[in-house]
């Protein structure tokens, strides 16, 4: 496994200069993977970014930020088209950085919730399968993989469970379309974290976010980590394990992720304590 951290722990948005400043810190803490959110395409130069990551021997993934104008199943065709164009840009960036995985809720705007009839849901599922099929072909041609992430019910009403993501991925049926599971969301939605991981299986699970129930340091809260560890080992998962959290110092991201207080004495402590715990648990 590779142990990583998302740059949102410290900054938003991420720029090339911030990547240059944070990469030596991330490496010194014991991480060997850095996840880079792409809120604004163009803030991060892929060529310079690739060199920075190589200099610090860090693997990389790209995290999609699905804002109000980025949505693959929105009723407005212009928003759907913009969402697909944005994901293609994320794929281009991860290719330029020398990475593979583009991860996140790659289906709808984070925070958009709506009630659906079974018929309406079936229509949206069909629309998403079509969109992801096209994007997976684009990703496959560039050696990239899209990793679709279920979120909790307060952030989306569309994909909340591993089983719902499995339905989508199996219908797309493309090697460049996989699943990301996140323990923060799973802790809210799943009856059993272990079963959700086992049902997803190593053939679908290409990325994993190891996050505490309050977004604090993994190991400091009530996520059933022994269950998570056993399930990941049972399926033979050997991909990236990434801590994703946020800072309340950046107001835009604090509003989006409902981060109203600090979870640890410092953001450095959150990352450092978290990676030590995860290495002991899974290493």
Asked if 33 contacts 59 with a C-beta cutoff of 8 angstroms, the reply is yes
Rounded Cα gap, residues 87 and 90, in angstroms: 5
Rounded Cα gap, residues 238 and 220, in angstroms: 24
Asked if 184 contacts 215 with a C-beta cutoff of 8 angstroms, the reply is yes
Rounded Cα gap, residues 57 and 241, in angstroms: 16
Rounded Cα gap, residues 112 and 157, in angstroms: 7
Rounded Cα gap, residues 241 and 227, in angstroms: 15
Token reading at 106: 């790659």
- CB atoms inside a 10 Å sphere around CB 65: 20
Nearest residue to 182 (alpha-carbon basis) of 280, 35, 82: 35
Asked if 29 contacts 272 with a C-beta cutoff of 8 angstroms, the reply is yes
Q: Which residues are catalytic?
A: 149, 244
Rounded Cα gap, residues 201 and 261, in angstroms: 35
126 Cβ neighbours under 8 A, 6+ residues apart:
none
Rounded Cα gap, residues 276 and 283, in angstroms: 10
| Gyration radius from the chain CA atoms | 17
Token reading at 222: 């009530």
């Amino acid at each position: 496994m590779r142990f990583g951290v998302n740059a949102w722990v410290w900054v938003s948005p991420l720029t090339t200069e911030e990547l240059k400043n944070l990469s030596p810190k991330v490496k010194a803490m014991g991480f060997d993977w850095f996840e880079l959110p792409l809120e604004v395409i163009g803030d991060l130069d892929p060529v310079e970014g690739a060199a920075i990551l190589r200099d610090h021997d860090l693997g990389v993934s790209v995290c999609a930020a699905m804002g109000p104008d980025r949505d693959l199943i929105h009723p407005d065709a212009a928003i759907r088209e913009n969402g697909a164009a944005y994901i293609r840009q994320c794929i281009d960036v991860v290719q330029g950085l020398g990475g593979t995985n583009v991860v996140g809720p790659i289906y709808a705007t984070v925070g958009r919730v709506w009630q659906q009839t079974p018929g309406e849901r079936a229509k949206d599922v069909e629309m998403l399968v079509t969109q992801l099929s096209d994007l997976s072909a684009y990703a496959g041609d560039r050696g990239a993989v899209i990793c679709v992430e279920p979120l909790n019910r307060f952030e989306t009403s569309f994909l909340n469970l591993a089983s719902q993501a499995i339905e989508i991925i199996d219908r797309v049926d493309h090697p460049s379309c996989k699943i990301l599971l996140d323990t923060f969301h799973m802790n809210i939605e799943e009856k059993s974290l272990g079963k959700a991981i086992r049902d997803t299986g190593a053939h679908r699970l290409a990325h994993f976010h190891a996050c505490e129930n309050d977004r604090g340091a993994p190991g400091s809260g009530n996520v059933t980590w022994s269950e998570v560890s056993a399930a990941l080992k049972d399926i033979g998962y050997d991909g990236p394990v990434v801590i994703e959290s946020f800072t309340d110092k950046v107001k835009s991201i604090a509003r989006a992720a409902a981060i109203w207080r600090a979870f640890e004495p410092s953001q450095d402590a959150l990352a450092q304590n978290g990676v030590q715990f995860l290495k002991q648990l899974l290493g």
